Structure 1
Amino acid sequence: MGHWTIQAVANWLLGGAMLLSLVGCSMKVPPQADAGQPVALIPLPQKHQPGPGAFRLQEGTSIVLSSESAELRELGEYLAALLHETSGRSLPVSASFLESMAKTRPQILLRVNPTLAVGAEGYALSIQEGRIVCEAKAPIGLFWAVQTLRQMIYQQQAGSAPGQELRLPVQEIHDEPTFAWRGLLLDMSRHFMSKDFLKRYIDLLALYKLNTLHLHLTDDQGWRLQIPNYPKLTSTGAWRQEPDGSTHGGFYTQADIREIVAYAQSRYITVVPEVDMPGHVQAALAAYPELSCTGGPFRVSNRAGVHPDILCAGNEQTYAFVENVLAEVARLFPGQYVHIGGDEAPKNRWKACAKCQARMKKENLPDEEALQGYFTKRASAVLQRYQKKPIVWDEALKGGISAGTLVQAWHGPAAAKEAVAVGAPVINSPRSAFYFDLNSGITPLEKVYHHPMVPAQLPAGQQQLVLGAEAALWTEDVPQERVDEMIFPRLLAFAENAWGHQAGSGYPDFRERVQAHYPVLERLGVRYGFGARPITFVPKYVVEQDAFAVTLEAGLRQVELRYTLDGTEPTRASALYTGVPVQFAQSTQLRVRPFKGEEPYGATAQASFVKHLALNRVPALAHPFHTAYAAGGGAALTDGILADNDYRKGFWQGFEKEDLEAIIDLGAEKEVREVSISFLQDTNSWIFLPTQVTFSSSNDKNSFKTLAVLKHAIPLKEEGPVRKEFTQQLPPTKTRYLRVRARNVGVCPPWHPGAGGAAFLMADELIVR
Structure 2
Amino acid sequence: MRLLVCASLLSVGVLSAANPIIPQPVSYQEKPGACSIQAGAFVYAPQAELPSYLKSLNEATGLKLRMAPADAACAIQFLSGEMRGSQAKGQTMPDGAYHMRVLPKVVNIYADSRSGHFYGLQSLLQILRAGEKNKGQISVPCAEIDDAPRFAWRGFMLDESRHFSGEDAVKCLLDTMAYYKMNRFHWHLTDSPGWRIEIKKYPKLTSVGGIGNQTDPKAPAAYYTQDQIRDIVAYAKARHINVIPEIDMPGHASAACRAYPEFSGGGSKKHPDFTFNPVDPATDAFLNDILKEVAGLFPDAGVIHFGGDEVHFGWDQWPELAGVKKLMKEEGLKLKDIETRFNLRFAKVINGLGFKTGGWDEIARTGMDPKQSVVFWWRHNKPKELSHALNTGYDVVLCPRRPCYFDFVQHASHKSGRRWGGFNPLSDTYGFPDALKLPVEPKGTILGIQACLWTETTITQERRDFMTFPRLLALAEAAWTPKESKDFAGFEKRLQPQLPELKARGIGYYDPFGNSPEVKK
Cα deviation per residue 1:596-635 (whole Å; 9 max; x = unaligned)? xxxxx4359xxxxxxxxxxxxxxxxxxxxxxxxxxxxxxx
Worse overlay, 168-177 or 80-89? 80-89
Cα deviation per residue 1:696-751 (whole Å; 9 max; x = unaligned)? xxxxxxxxxxxxxxxxxxxxxxxxxxxxxxxxxxxxxxxxxxxxxxxxxxxxxxxx
Identify the residue that residue 46 of structure 1 maps to in structure 2: 26
Identify the residue that residue 90 of structure 1 maps to in structure 2: 64
1:80 aligns with 2:54: yes
SS in 2 for 1:196: helix
The whole-number CA distance in structure 2 between the counterparts of 1:84 and 1:201 is: 21
Identify the residue that residue 459 of structure 1 maps to in structure 2: 440
What's the CA shift for 1:427?
0.5
1:129 aligns with 2:88: no
Mapped contact 2:38–2:136 kept (Cα < 8 A) = no
Q: 1:339 aligns with which of 302, 305, 311?
A: 305
SS in 2 for 1:206: helix
Worse overlay, 326-335 or 111-120? 111-120
Identify the residue that residue 748 of structure 1 maps to in structure 2: none
What's the CA shift for 1:241?
7.1
The whole-number CA distance in structure 2 between the counterparts of 1:241 and 1:60 is: 50
What's the CA shift for 1:318?
1.1
The whole-number CA distance in structure 2 between the counterparts of 1:428 and 1:495 is: 13
Q: 1:439 aligns with which of 397, 409, 433?
A: 409
Task: Output the amino acid matched with 1:179.
Answer: F
What's the CA shift for 1:523?
2.3
Task: Output the amino acid matched with 2:38.
Answer: Q
1:522 aligns with 2:492: no
Identify the residue that residue 146 of structure 1 maps to in structure 2: 121
Listed as ranges, the matches of 1:155-170 within 5 Å are 155-156=130-131, 165-170=137-142
Mapped contact 1:209–1:495 kept (Cα < 8 A) = yes
Instruction: Assess, with a 3 A threshold, how the Cα gap between structure 1 residues 283 and 467 changes in structure 2: closer, same or farther.
Output: same
Identify the residue that residue 163 of structure 2 maps to in structure 1: 191
Cα deviation per residue 1:439-493 (whole Å; 9 max; x = unaligned)? 103100111111226841412344x611111100000111323211111111111
What's the CA shift for 1:306?
5.4
SS in 2 for 1:223: coil
1:317 aligns with 2:282: yes
Cα deviation per residue 1:639-671 (whole Å; 9 max; x = unaligned)? xxxxxxxxxxxxxxxxxxxxxxxxxxxxxxxxx
Instruction: Assess, with a 3 A threshold, how the Cα gap between structure 1 residues 360 and 95 changes in structure 2: closer, same or farther.
Output: farther
Q: 2:484 aligns with which of 503, 508, 517?
A: 503
Higher relative contact order (CA 8 A, sep 6+): 2
What's the CA shift for 1:269?
0.4
Mapped contact 1:308–1:349 kept (Cα < 8 A) = no
The whole-number CA distance in structure 2 between the counterparts of 1:292 and 1:434 is: 32
Instruction: Assess, with a 3 A threshold, how the Cα gap between structure 1 residues 308 and 421 changes in structure 2: closer, same or farther.
Output: farther
What's the CA shift for 1:557?
2.1
The whole-number CA distance in structure 2 between the counterparts of 1:244 and 1:389 is: 35
Cα deviation per residue 1:559-578 (whole Å; 9 max; x = unaligned)? 5xxxxxxxxxxxxxxxxxxx
Any stretches of 5+ residues in structure 1 without a counterpart?
A: 1-33, 66-71, 531-555, 560-593, 595-600, 605-769
What's the CA shift for 1:89?
2.8
Task: Output the amino acid matched with 2:404.
Answer: F
Identify the residue that residue 489 of structure 1 maps to in structure 2: 470
What's the CA shift for 1:166?
2.0
The whole-number CA distance in structure 1 between the counterparts of 2:290 and 2:64 is: 46
SS in 2 for 1:449: helix
Across the aligned residues of Structure 1 and Structure 2, the Cα RMSD in angstroms comes to: 2.5
Listed as ranges, the matches of 1:616-765 within 5 Å are none
The whole-number CA distance in structure 2 between the counterparts of 1:136 and 1:223 is: 41
The whole-number CA distance in structure 1 between the counterparts of 2:41 and 2:217 is: 59
Select the structure that is richer in helix: 2
Mapped contact 2:377–2:399 kept (Cα < 8 A) = yes
What's the CA shift for 1:179?
0.8
The whole-number CA distance in structure 1 between the counterparts of 2:319 and 2:367 is: 19
Listed as ranges, the matches of 1:327-476 within 5 Å are 327-334=292-299, 335-346=301-312, 347-359=315-327, 364=331, 366-403=333-370, 404-412=372-380, 413-441=383-411, 442-452=423-433, 455-462=436-443, 465-476=445-456
The whole-number CA distance in structure 1 between the counterparts of 2:397 and 2:182 is: 14
Instruction: Assess, with a 3 A threshold, how the Cα gap between structure 1 residues 230 and 359 changes in structure 2: closer, same or farther.
Output: farther
Task: Output the amino acid matched with 1:443.
Answer: N
Listed as ranges, the matches of 1:134-283 within 5 Å are 134-156=109-131, 165-240=137-212, 247-283=219-255
What's the CA shift for 1:359?
4.0
The whole-number CA distance in structure 1 between the counterparts of 2:249 and 2:197 is: 14
State the TM-score, normalized to the length of structure 1.
0.59
The whole-number CA distance in structure 2 between the counterparts of 1:145 and 1:307 is: 50
Mapped contact 2:63–2:137 kept (Cα < 8 A) = no
The whole-number CA distance in structure 2 between the counterparts of 1:224 and 1:243 is: 16
Identify the residue that residue 746 of structure 1 maps to in structure 2: none
The whole-number CA distance in structure 2 between the counterparts of 1:286 and 1:419 is: 34
Task: Specify the structure having the higher radius of gyration (Cα).
Answer: 1
The whole-number CA distance in structure 1 between the counterparts of 2:245 and 2:213 is: 25
Task: Output the amino acid matched with 1:384.
Answer: N
Identity of aligned residues (%): 33
Mapped contact 2:191–2:254 kept (Cα < 8 A) = yes
Instruction: Assess, with a 3 A threshold, how the Cα gap between structure 1 residues 273 and 308 changes in structure 2: closer, same or farther.
Output: same
What's the CA shift for 1:322?
1.2
The whole-number CA distance in structure 1 between the counterparts of 2:121 and 2:398 is: 27
SS in 2 for 1:503: helix
Instruction: Assess, with a 3 A threshold, how the Cα gap between structure 1 residues 359 and 331 changes in structure 2: closer, same or farther.
Output: farther
Cα deviation per residue 1:313-338 (whole Å; 9 max; x = unaligned)? 12111110110000001000022110
Cα deviation per residue 1:153-194 (whole Å; 9 max; x = unaligned)? 33348xx68x76322221110000121011000001111111
The whole-number CA distance in structure 1 between the counterparts of 2:213 and 2:507 is: 30
Task: Output the amino acid matched with 2:265.
Answer: C
What's the CA shift for 1:366?
3.1
SS in 2 for 1:380: helix
Instruction: Assess, with a 3 A threshold, how the Cα gap between structure 1 residues 243 and 87 changes in structure 2: closer, same or farther.
Output: closer
What's the CA shift for 1:370?
1.9
The aligned length equals: 482
The whole-number CA distance in structure 2 between the counterparts of 1:402 and 1:368 is: 21
